Amino acid sequence: MLFLDELPEYSRAVLDVLREPLESGKIVISRAARQITFPASFQLVAAMNPTPGGYAASDPRSQSYSAEQIRQYMSRVSGPFLDRIDMHVEVPPVPTQVLAAGQASESSAQVRQRVEQAWQIQLDRQGKGNHLLSTREIDHFCRLQNADSQLLQTAVDRLGLSARSYHRILKVARTLADLDQTKEIQRPHLTEALGYRQLDRIGNNIAR
- Could you tell me if residue 177 is inside a domain? yes
- Could you tell me if residue 92 is inside a domain? no
Task: Give yes or no: residues 44 and 112 share one domain.
Answer: no
* Structural domain range at position 190: 106-201
Distance of CA 43 to CAs 23, 57, 65, 87, Å? 11, 29, 33, 12
Domain end (from 51, 85, 119): 85
Task: Give yes or no: residues 81 and 113 share one domain.
Answer: no
Task: Give yes or no: residues 142 and 190 share one domain.
Answer: yes
Q: For the purposes of burial, counting CB atoms within 10 Å of the CB of 107, is it exposed (0-12), middle (13-18) or buried (19 or more)?
A: exposed
Task: Give yes or no: residues 55 and 119 share one domain.
Answer: no
CA–CA separation, 82 and 161 (whole Å): 11
Task: Provide the mean pLDDT of the chain.
Answer: 89
Q: What is the pLDDT of residue 104?
A: 66
- Could you tell me if residue 99 is inside a domain? no
Q: pLDDT digits over 52-82, tens only?
A: 888 887 788 888 888 888 888 888 898 899 9
Task: Give yes or no: residues 182 and 123 share one domain.
Answer: yes
User: Into how many domains does the chain fold?
Assistant: 2
Q: What is the pLDDT of residue 197?
A: 87
- Could you tell me if residue 44 is inside a domain? yes
Q: What is the pLDDT of residue 201?
A: 62
Ranges of the chain whose pLDDT falls below 50: 203-208
Instruction: Evaluate whether 70 touches 51 at the Cβ level (below 8 Å).
Output: yes
- Could you tell me if residue 206 is inside a domain? no
Q: What is the pLDDT of residue 208?
A: 43
Sign of CA dihedral 165, 12, 10, 50: negative
Task: Give yes or no: residues 122 and 168 share one domain.
Answer: yes
- Could you tell me if residue 208 is inside a domain? no
- Could you tell me if residue 127 is inside a domain? yes
- Our CA angle for 55, 60, 65, nearest 5°, is 65
Task: Give yes or no: residues 128 and 159 share one domain.
Answer: yes
Which is nearest to 170 in space by CA: 200, 192, 146, 198?
A: 192
Q: What is the pLDDT of residue 204?
A: 43
